[in-house]
Chain A
Amino acid sequence: MNNTISTSLKKRTFADMIISVLICAGALIAAAWQFVAYLSKRDPIYLSNAVYSLVIFGELGLISLILLEIRKTGKPFSKKITAKLRFMALILIAGGAMPRFSEVSTEPLTYSVSVYFDMLNILVIFAGVIIGIISEIFVYGLSLQEDNDLIA
């Protein structure tokens, strides 16, 4: 790949990587906080929030790793990045498929757990499918990059 393109790509990804690492750390703190809230209040909604925060943590963690890889190599297409994108898609689909729990009191001293599965879950699953498709585009990009690297 052209050295100038690689250098500018490395520079561009730096700020993105810092931002994603910071938000990733925030998501982890939020997940821990929600889990502690669940342990103290025993309301399942906190557990759902903790799991969703962990999904965000996983996604942003993988994005940070992808940006780190790009900064190291200066190339956006590699087998490692494709694998990470596929894993991101899987996490999003799994996170979206998980319904939202909340505890509701039906009668005095009687509680039941209600389960929600709404359009937001379908949207998250759809986002996962789109990332899965993008990962396949990266497979094609990798073969083009390898071809381009062999042209002087």
Chain B
Amino acid sequence: MAIIIRLDKMMADRKMSLNELAERIGMSNVNLSNLKTSKMKGIRFETMNAICEALECQPGDLFEYVRD
């Protein structure tokens, strides 16, 4: 897919583990891991809002468009 999720980079910058982020945003580790590895089809605004709040970032920081 042309849209890449930069969740791992943002988490590394904030020194936050997957488990910690999952706990903060109220999501299961499995689902968050699937999101991080681009296995999900989409993301809800609600989830994106929680991630941005936890990582103190903008939605644009989480995604990158790369032409195929």
Contact = CB atoms under 8 A, between A and B. Distances in A.
Contacts of B41: 147, 150-151
Contacts of B31: 152
Given A150-B39, A151-B40, A152-B43, 11 more contacts: A3-B28, A147-B41, A150-B40, A150-B41, A150-B42, A151-B42, A151-B43, A152-B32, A152-B40, A152-B42, A152-B44
B8 to A, nearest CB: 15
Nearest to B25: A152
Counting from the closest, the 8 A-B pairs by CB-CB distance are: A150-B41, A152-B35, A151-B42, A152-B43, A152-B40, A152-B47, A150-B40, A152-B31
Interface size class of chain B, counting residues whose CB lies under 8 Å from the partner chain: 10 to 19
Interface residues of A, number: 5
Max chain B Cβ within 10 angstroms of own Cβ: one of A3, A150, A151, A152: A152
Interface of A: 3, 147, 150-152
Nearest to A146: B41
Contacts of A151: 40-44
A114 B45 CA distance: 67
A92 to B, nearest CB: 37
Contacts of B42: 150-152
Nearest to A147: B41
A30 to B, nearest CB: 46
Contacts of A150: 39-42
B16 to A, nearest CB: 17
B34 interface: yes
Contacts of A147: 41
A6 to B, nearest CB: 12
Nearest to A3: B28
B27 interface: yes
A151 B35 CA distance: 9
